[in-house]
Every structure is written in structure tokens, then in C-alpha cells.
Amino acid sequence: MKSKLRKGVPILQKNQLNVIELFAGVGGFRLGLEQANKDLFKTVWANQWEPSRKEQHAFNCYNARFQEGIASNEDITKVTNETFIDLKPDLLVGGFPCQDYSVARSLSGEAGLQGKKGVLFWEIARILDQTQPKYVLLENVDRLLKSPSKQRGRDFAVMLATFRDLNYSVEWRVVNAADYGFAQRRRRVFIFAYKNDIAFDDSQRKHSQQDLIYKEGYFAKTFPVKEEPYKERVSSTRLPEDVVDISDLFSYNFQTSGIMQDGEVTTIHTQPIEMKPVTLGEILQDEETVPEEFYLSETQAEKFAYLRGPKKIERTSADGHSYTFSEGGMSPTDELNKPGRTMLTSEGTTNRSTHVVEVNGRKRFLTPLECERLNGFEDHWTEGMPNRMRYFCMGNALVVGLIKKMGERIEEIEKTNAKKEVQLNLSI
């Protein structure tokens, strides 16, 4: 077992939440929660394992940056139930892969369901089943809501039904970080689940599902939205009781915001109340500190001019069919008075999606430090690994400031829960 115990697993104290962090990367969830309240959020166990890589750069970075709890560098599917039970988690967090979440009846028909092997969401479900934490906070790409393309919404519906069967209610929201004041136009879906028998659930059930989405819910108070939907996109449905029926037959158009309680779903395409974002120009480091290696050569500049320009290319498919591939043009360089575009794992390569900035008449890549700033990490957070991996890790990371906001909302919920528990004890 490749785990690293620093100062032991913190013992749960009053006003402390034990946190398990899965698919931890370089620690964006943990950093954001600790920025919200380091005394409240105590990460007792975190897992980061990249099976295809001999050198575990992300794990090494995580392990170097955080000094408490257990940092695990092992296959999550091989971690025992007892390990998680002993941790007594209150909050599970993670940015899990977008995969195929279809399920089937087991061969006996009696032993439950079988999901596809290697699908890591089922590891989340296993841990929740064994430990029943109060809260769950997850992140994924926004296409999760519409996958797979041939049965839209199926995968997300399977997830919602799994939470329902584990006695959780769920809110979700697609958030563009730039809409709420951050430096990157990065859209991700966040999923917040909470146990049905806690005080927060009692308070939520006093409101309609639409009120929760617009004003009273977890995300509404964290990332405010206008009280009218985009293009009247509001709908409701009830999930089938049998998850296998969902996997085989169910299709639904989930919008950017929604809630599920006891299988009842309301979903709305909400519109953010936008904040002024940080611009790309504001996060650039002093030009005198940028090494020469990040400036484009004449050949690279010409290549980017082609990649970012409009084009029509005649191509032939594998079956011999001829077609025209068309691609619209984009600005030759990224505008410094706007937030950055979504950063991908290919950042820093000669690729159409890579940021190119022009400063003092010279074009260059973003530096790894600037990519850290785009995601809200501390300067030099990923220092020590090759630049290619620094770009890759930031392309996989989330915007830390969003997690800070979400952590602050969980802190508010905990304070409300504590007051209700005191009132309940006084009335007994």
C-alpha cells in the first residue's frame, strides 16, 4: 500500500469536518476548502494515482504541499471498505472522470447491479454506501449532463438515481468561473449532495424546487442567478425506480441547474448574475521574469497563425467518402482585457487551443506560473516537475476560488445545523 502518513489522521473534534479527497490531482479541492476555513475542513485521506504513468508527478506535488492526513498513491479500487469506514468522513470531494455510467443486472438477478469495470464513479458510490458522509461535492466537465450522445442525459440520470438510492438529495450547477469574478472562462458542472436526514435537508424541503434553484439552495446562495430562465428552459421529471431501466431506456435534457429530491427532478437553464472578472493581462508575470524559452520563434508564430485562422480542407473518410473540413478563425493572440479561455491539458504545445499572448510586440506562451494563476493556485505550486507536466496538471485542475466559495457555503450550513441542534437539545 503506497500511502504516506504525515502527522496521522486528525481525530474528529467539535466544529471539524473530516474530508476525503478523491482523484486529488495537485490538490485544488483541498486548497480551496482550506482557504475557506482550514480549521473546519480537515482532509484526513486523499488519493491520487495515475495508472499510465511511471512518474507520479501530481501525487508528488500533492504530497509535498500538504503536511497532514494520509496521501494515498494507489489504485482506488483496491482500497478496502474498512479503510474508509475508519476515517469517518463528513465530506467527500473529487473531480472524477467522465465515463460510461451504464449498468446491468447481475447474472443472478439478485446480487444488485454491475457497472462497467474501471468506471470510477462506482468507487464514489461504494465509499458513500459504506461511510454515509453528510456532504458530497464533485466536479466534472459539463458534457456529463448530456452524455452519451445517443441517449442524452442517461449517464447523469444513473448518477442521480444512485444518490437517491443511497438516501441523498442532489443539486447541480454548471459554473463558468469568469462569470463569478475569476480569470478563466472555464465551464464545469459541480454536484452537491447531502444526506436526507440532516438539518440542512429539513430546511431545504420548506421551499419549492424552483425556489431552491433560484434563491434558497446551495448553489443559488453561492453563485447567484437571475430569477428568469434562459429561453424558458424549465422542466420537471421523475426518475424511474429501477436504475437498470434508466440505463437502458431513459433519456432527458438536463439543464445547467437542477435539483433531485427522492427521485423528483426540476432542472432550469439559469442565467448568472455576473461579476467583473479578472483579466488575462492582470495575471501575467512581469515580462522581465519570463524566460526566453516561452517566446515564439518565427516558425512557431507562422504555425499558430495557420492553426488559429479560418480554413477549409478537403478530406477523405476511411470508407472513401470525400468531405470538407471547415474551421472558423479566432484571434491571432488572446485578448489581455478579457479572462483567459478554458485551459486544456495540451496547453503549452503548438495547438490551436493553446493561449498565445503578445506583450511589448512579442508573442509567447503562457508560463506554467501564469497557468497556476489562471486556476487560482499559489505561484510555483507545481514547481519541481517538468514544464510539460505543469501545463498538464493545470489543464486538469479546477479553479480554486470556486471551491473556496463552496466551502464557505458549507461552513454557513454547518453553523445553521449547529444552532438547530442546540435548539433541539434545549427543547427536549
Rounded mean pLDDT, 250-254: 97
Q: What is the pLDDT of residue 420?
A: 64
In a domain, 360, yes or no: yes
Residue 298: give its domain's CATH number: 3.90.120
DSSP states of 213-247 as a string?
Answer: IIIISHHHHHS-B-SS-GGG-EEEEE--S-HHHHH
253, 275, 297 - which closes a domain: 275
Distances (CA, A) of 286 to 35, 151, 256, 283, 360: 26, 49, 38, 9, 12
pLDDT tens for each residue of 185-225: 999 999 999 999 999 999 999 999 999 999 999 999 999 99
Q: What is the pLDDT of residue 417?
A: 74
Residues 112 and 149 in one domain: yes
219, 250, 275 - which closes a domain: 275
pLDDT tens for each residue of 40-72: 999 999 999 998 888 999 999 999 999 999 999
Q: For the whole model, what pTM was predicted?
A: 0.92
Residues 320 and 198 in one domain: no
In a domain, 423, yes or no: no
Extended strands (E) in 274-316:
311-316
Give me the domain span that covers residue 37.
3-275
In a domain, 355, yes or no: yes
Q: What rounded mean pLDDT belongs to the chain?
A: 92
Q: What is the pLDDT of residue 260?
A: 98
Residues 237 and 288 in one domain: no
Q: What is the pLDDT of residue 316?
A: 87
Residues with Cβ < 8 Å from 378, sequence gap 6 or more? 31, 372
Residues 178 and 256 in one domain: yes
Residue 235: give its domain's CATH number: 3.40.50.150
Residues 195 and 335 in one domain: no
DSSP states of 7-73 as a string?
Answer: S-PPPP-TT-EEEEEES-TTTHHHHHHHHHHTTTEEEEEEE---TT-SS-HHHHHHHHH--SSEEE-
In a domain, 7, yes or no: yes
Residues 359 and 271 in one domain: no
Q: What is the pLDDT of residue 4?
A: 53
**d(C-alpha 272, C-alpha 277), whole Å:** 13
Q: What is the pLDDT of residue 13?
A: 45
Residues 215 and 300 in one domain: no
In a domain, 418, yes or no: no
Q: What is the pLDDT of residue 220?
A: 98
Q: What is the pLDDT of residue 305?
A: 94
In a domain, 50, yes or no: yes
Q: Taking CA 186 as the corner, what is the angle to CA 283 and CA 192, rounded to the nearest 5 degrees?
A: 120
275, 297, 318 - which closes a domain: 275
pLDDT tens for each residue of 11-30: 444 589 999 999 999 999 99
Residues 260 and 316 in one domain: no
The C-alpha cell that represents 234 in the structure block: 424549465
Q: What is the pLDDT of residue 290?
A: 98
pLDDT tens for each residue of 144-191: 999 999 999 999 999 999 999 999 999 999 999 999 999 999 999 999
pLDDT tens for each residue of 110-135: 445 556 656 889 999 999 999 999 99
Residue type, 14: K
pLDDT over 60 (residue 81): yes
**What percent of the chain clears pLDDT 70, i.e. is strictly above it?**
91
pLDDT tens for each residue of 289-313: 999 999 999 999 999 999 999 988 8
Q: What is the pLDDT of residue 419?
A: 66
Q: How confident is the model at residue 108 (pLDDT cuts 50, 70, 90)?
A: low
Residues 260 and 296 in one domain: no
Max CA-CA distance within the chain?
A: 78
Number of helices (H), then strands (E), in the chain: 14, 17
**How many folded domains does the chain comprise?**
2
pLDDT tens for each residue of 133-148: 999 999 999 999 999 9
Residues 221 and 288 in one domain: no
pLDDT tens for each residue of 357-396: 999 999 999 999 999 999 999 999 999 999 999 999 999 9
Q: What is the pLDDT of residue 3?
A: 55
Q: What is the pLDDT of residue 98?
A: 79
Residues 33 and 74 in one domain: yes
In a domain, 19, yes or no: yes
Q: What is the pLDDT of residue 311?
A: 86
Rounded mean pLDDT, 28-43: 98
Among all residues, which ones are annotated catalytic? 98
Residues 333 and 246 in one domain: no
In a domain, 75, yes or no: yes
